Amino acid sequence: MRKWLVPAVMIGALTAAATSPAHAHKLKVFATAVGERIEGTVYFVGGGPARGARILVESTDGKPIEELTADDAGAFAITAKVRTDHVIVTDSADGHSARTIIPASLLPASLPLPASTLGTGAAEARVSTAPAAPQEGGTGDPAAMEASIAQAVARQVAPLREQLSAYEDRVRLRDVLGGFGYILGLAGLFAWLRARRPMGGGR
C-alpha cells in the first residue's frame, strides 16, 4: 500500500474544509462612534452584506440596551443614551455570529453615566458635565468646539476604518486559502515523484 496517499488525502480534506462556504462566509461586524451615534455594518468575509442580521446591543454585564435588525446594506445605527461600553453582538439566520465593543471613551463626556457608576461619584460626575463659565474675550466653549471637531473627524475616518477592516479580512482569507493550495500542490508533486520511482529494489 502506498503510504503517501494518506497525507495527501488528509491535506485535500483540510483544504476542502477551509474553502467551504462556512469558512469563506465568516460573519463580521464593524462599528464606530460618531458623537452620540453608533454606526456600523454587518457583512460576510468574501461575500456581501448580512441583510436582516439580528443585532443586540448590551452592556458589558449583559444588560440589554437595544435590539435591531441590519438593513439591506447590512448597516445599522443607534443613539447612545449613557456613557458606557456598548457590546454589539450579531447573528445571521444560518448560525454565524460576531461581536465588537464600542468603549465608553469613544462617546461624548456629556452623556450621563450608567446608574451603577454614580453613587458616591455622582457629585464629581455633575461637576465634570456642568457647562463651563464663559470667559472674557472668548469666542465659544472650547469643550463644545473640541467635541464638534472630534465628531467631524470621526465621521470622515469611519468609512476608511471600515474599508481597511474589510480589506484585511479579505487578505487574511486569501492568505489562508493560498497557503492550503500551496501545501496541496507540494503534496501532489510529492505523490507524482513517488509514483515515478520504480517499485522494488532491482535495476
Q: Report the predicted TM-score, pTM, of the whole model to 2 decimal places.
A: 0.54
Measured over all CA atoms, what is the biggest interatomic distance in the chain, rounded to whole angstroms? 103
Per-residue cell: 32: 464606530
What is the predicted pLDDT for the residue at 122?
45
Is 5-110+143-196 a domain of CATH 2.60.40.10? yes
Which residue has cell 439591506?
72
Domain boundaries, the chain: 5-110+143-196
pLDDT digits (tens, 9 = 90+) for 67-85: 999 999 999 999 999 999 9
What is the predicted pLDDT for the residue at 166?
59
H-only helix segments in 83-137: 122-129
Task: Please give the Cα distance from 95 to 83 (Å, whole number).
Answer: 31
Assign 86 to helix, strand or coil: strand
> Who contacts 69 (Cβ-Cβ below 8 Å, separation ≥6)?
52, 53, 54, 55, 76
How is residue 62 annotated by DSSP?
A: S
| Residue 29, strand partner residues | 42
Order of strands, sheet of 97-102, starting from the edge strand that comes earlier in the sequence: 64-69, 54-58, 86-91, 97-102
Element (H, E) at 171: helix 142-196
Contact 55, 42 (CB under 8 A): yes
Mean pLDDT taken over the chain: 72
**Side chain identity at 9, as an amino acid letter?**
V
Per-residue cell: 162: 471600515
pLDDT band with cut points at 50, 70 and 90 for residue 104: very high
Q: Rg for the chain (alpha carbons), in Å?
A: 27
What is the predicted pLDDT for the residue at 124?
46
Over pLDDT 90: what percentage of the chain?
26
